[in-house]
Amino acid sequence: MIQAFGLTSTPRKERPPALDDVSFEARAGRVTVLLGAPGAGKSTALRLMLELQQGRGVTHFRGRPLHRIAHPSREVGVLLGDVPGHPARTVRGHLRMLCAATGVPVGRADEVLEVVGLVSLRGERLGTLSRGMDRRLGLACALLPDPHTLVLDDPARGLSTRESHWLHGLLRAHATHGGTALFTTADPKEAARTADQVVTLAEGRLVADQEAADFARTRLRPRVAVRSPHAARLAAQLAKEARTGRRSVEVVREGGNRLSVYGSTCAEVGETAFRHNILVHQLADEIGDMGPAPLPSNVPGVQGAQLDDPARGAAEPSVTGKDGSAAERTEDAEGEVHDRGAVSPALPPAAADTSSPLPPPISVRSAPSPLRPLRYELRRAAGIRTGFLTGGAVLVTSALTAVLLARVGHTPQPRLLAAWPRELPLPPAALGAGLLGALAFGDEFRHPALAADRGTVPRRLGLLAAKLVVAAVTALLLALLSVGCDAELLYLFYGRELVEVPGDWLSLSASWIGFVVGCAWAGVLAAGTFRSTTAGLAAVVAVPVLVVPLVQKAVEGPSVRTAAGIPARLREVFLMQWPFGGDRYVAAAARVLVQPVGGALMLSLVALLGAYLLTTLRSRVR
């Protein structure tokens, strides 16, 4: 069950808060609806409940706040807005990535795809999905870890009438199996049809918390929809008969030739039209919204001839089905018109109803594994072509730059092999490694299903270690392949003299690999700290542009002791030769660190790691 106490959003400037002291309860085994017009505070309430937005108040999920639950994604399934996955990722790849993040078996992705009717679209890219299919994928993401509670923000948006019925049936099945279902809507009739409990919000405040039957009795009432070319004459006759019989009847002109008659029946309206020879094109029973304030019903006679107040709710057009029964016409978010009660066209295979309303429960959950973040990161990185395209672009750019530098001349061989002209702050390989590192953070803090799982992502050191490992391996491959491609192309164009192995190749190789890996790590840490890919790439470029000149000034100052002679002093300290010549590698690493670029990069990495850990501790304390 869900217990929300005093939810209040942080106000902006002098504006009132979007949500002000809202408390309600959604019990297990029931479907609860947050009802309100656009801007009433429904989405804000959900974000405050899920601790995705700062504010006051507390929400308990089965007696515990979200940050006190070991695996929140297994407790709460979330759907907020569109699925914020990478548009180039496939439907199945996106779910398999979330399987690794939430710690469920990878076969679970196919189970939920079958339930939501997306099996035939499992190979489609997220960017090609329609709005209705996107909502289905979001529901699949919410059902993936088999949660006890579903929290959905306007899940029927973009769905046709038939698909909405399927969605409401799935929520009802989830509640029947003992789960808690909470979703938002702006349609009072949808709330009355599907919910057990309706919580009404208006202008950020709680208006009512009612059972569905009480809500339907107080906020909804039946009406008769009439279409006639003589609507004005029919309205006058209905008003006259209501006054004569001292009955409470309200006639509302909806515009054109349409009337809405409250307090009467189809039979009575039809008899009045027949007695006065008034042609009627439509006569149907409907349900109307009374608006935020109940209409007066204790005054006999006509309450109004015409109302333009949208708060009372304009009646939706109606059509008649093939069997002569009334069928309500609605228009979905894609502009497609659907008739309720009439024969609807067959849905495509992806949207066909499934035989099972819910995926099977997860009987055995895997124990926490240190490889779980690594599996997630590998699936995240390999699920899209961005990394491969970036790597290919880096290799091509590096090789062409090396050839142009060799043609111009006056470039030292190490810089030539690295394709690093003096005019550029970074070589292509280091810039590409930094970009790939900055792209490593993205899905974690943009996806609500992952952001709610604070025990796993985005603030977990295991995940950070996995990202650093994958970024280091990627940068290492990029560094070696770029030098190899540059050397091959230089040999092809100019012969062997430009690709000879230098004598100090060991220290140069260590310096090159350390520099590229350091750029990748700087991108990872900066993007994770500031939650921005642009900030991650900016941090990588800032190392040679800003930090290196500061370090050089500090090293060249008269009050700083020189670091020359470190290799000799290392041998004196250890007083022994390392096995397999290990002292040479230690000396080479020391020479790299005392260089301005190496020192600046190390300083930047330490600062970014400290900032990341600081933000991690602050989020856990909060």
* Site of tokens 């109803």: 353
Location of structure tokens 């202008």 = 203
How far is the C-alpha of 594 from the C-alpha of 411, rounded, in Å?
A: 23
Burial code (b: 16+ CB inside 10 Å, e: under 16) for 523-561 equals bbbbbbbbbbbebbbbbbbbbbeebbeebeeeeeeeeee
Q: What is the pLDDT of residues 559-616, one digit of tens each?
A: 445 555 555 554 555 445 555 555 555 555 555 544 555 555 676 777 777 777 776 6
Amino acid at 145: P
Cross-strand partners of 337: 331
pLDDT surpasses 90 at 349: no
Confidence label for 414 from pLDDT (cuts 50, 70 and 90)? confident
- Name the CA dihedral angle for 133, 136, 138, 143, rounded to a multiple of 10 degrees: -160
531 three-class SS:
coil
Strands (E), 49-153: 55-61, 64-65, 76-79, 149-152
Q: What is the DSSP string of 337-368?
A: EEESSSPPPPPPGGGPPPS-SSPPP--SPPPP
Q: What is the average pLDDT score of the chain?
A: 77
pLDDT tens for 178-205 read: 999 999 999 888 998 899 999 999 989 9
Q: Which DSSP category does 126 fall into?
A: G
pLDDT tens per residue, range 115-174? 998 999 999 998 898 888 888 998 998 999 899 999 999 998 878 888 889 899 999 999
Most confident stretch, 80-89, 324-333, 515-524, 598-607: 515-524
Region 332-353 average pLDDT: 35
Six-digit token pair at 348? Answer: 């495509």
Residue 618 burial (10 A CB sphere; 0-12, 13-18, 19+)? exposed
Percent of the chain past pLDDT 70, that is, above it, reads 75
Phi-psi category of 181—alpha, beta or left, where left has phi over 0 and alpha has psi -120 to 50?
Answer: beta
Phi, psi of 197 (to 5 degrees): -140, 135
Sign of CA dihedral 514, 519, 524, 525: positive
Taken in order 114, 119, 124, 129, is the CA torsion positive or negative? negative
Handedness of CA 187, 188, 192, 196 (dihedral sign): positive
Task: Outline where DSSP puts E strands in 10-126.
Answer: 22-26, 31-35, 55-61, 64-65, 76-79
pLDDT digit string, tens, across residues 351-383: 344 334 777 777 556 556 667 888 888 998 898
For residues 113 and 91, the answer to whether their CB atoms sit within 8 Å is yes
CB 269 within 8 A of CB 224: yes
d(CA 443, CA 142): 15
Cα separation, 192 vs 169, whole angstroms: 14
Q: Which two tokens stand for residue 352?
A: 């066909």
Collect all residues with Cβ–Cβ distance below 8 Å to 39 and sequence separation of at least 6: 203
Q: What secondary structure, in 3-state letters, does 158-199 show?
A: CCCHHHHHHHHHHHHHHHHCCCEEEEEECCHHHHHHHCCEEE
Q: What confidence tens digit (pLDDT) does each residue in 47-69 have?
A: 999 888 888 999 999 999 888 88
Could you give the domains of the chain? 2-211 (3.40.50.300), 217-315 (3.30.70), 372-621 (no CATH)
